[in-house]
Amino acid sequence: MSEQMMTEAAVSLLVERGIAGTTLAGIGERSGYSRGLVTHRFGSKAGLLAHVHDSIAAEWLRRVQAVVGRATGVAALQRVTDALYKFIVDEPKGLRAMYLLRYASIDPSAEYRANVAKLNKAHVRALTRWVEEGQAHGEIAAEVDAGLAAELFASVVDGLLYRWLVNPDIPVKELHGLMRAHIARALRAAQA
């Protein structure tokens, strides 16, 4: 179906030329259709971008769920970082497109912004729950503020991806290892 084709064309164009450099006509034509079909289907450029973002985000969610499984506490957070590392290696283009869109949504003119804010909050909720479960099992120190730790964890992930987008040569693998170590140490220890 044309939606799928156009979404794929959009991803490749986004990675090649960025958001501003990606035109609706370009997407239509690269996917073998006319210049007008994208608008017709997705209503607007923002609508298309939201669709692209959400479809990759769904794939990311699937991966995280598969890797984390029923784990909780430190193991759950570590596995999230594992999934992240794997995603970087397996599908750099998709991840790049998703974060390109996600960072662009900071822009107040992006209607899409509220969606991303909601998504971020959902992520933090899930992370918070894992931390709390770790505390319930006695694995994670009780003094840890679960919500705060979750927010910081999410920040590290987002920040790392931003830096990777700007400079793909950063030592992603080593940073992944360092994160894993930090998670364990920070959560098991006491906290201010």
Binding site for DNA (CB under 7 A): 1-2, 22-25, 28, 33-37, 39-41, 43-46
* 88-117 binders of a second copy (CB under 8 A): 99-100, 103-110, 113, 116-117
What is the greatest pairwise CA distance in the chain? Answer: 60
The span of 28-36, 70-78, 86-94, 148-156 binding a second copy (CB under 8 A) equals 148-156
Is residue 127 near a second copy by the rule CB under 8 A? Answer: no
Would you say 33 or 110 has its CB closer to a second copy? 110
Would you say 21 or 159 has its CB closer to DNA? 21
The two structure tokens encoding residue 74: 């430190």
Cβ neighbours of residue 18 closer than 8 Å, sequence gap 6 or more:
100
- Give the C-alpha distances (Å, rounded to integers) separating 31 from 8, 10, 79: 8, 9, 36
CA distance 24 to 22: 7
Would you say 37 or 84 has its CB closer to DNA? 37
Q: Identify whether the C-beta of residue 2 lies closer than 8 Å to the C-beta of residue 41.
A: yes
- Give the C-alpha distances (Å, rounded to integers) separating 181 from 53, 164, 175: 31, 20, 10
- Considering only 5, 15, 71, 141, the residue that binds a second copy (CB under 8 A) is 15
Would you say 46 or 184 has its CB closer to DNA? 46
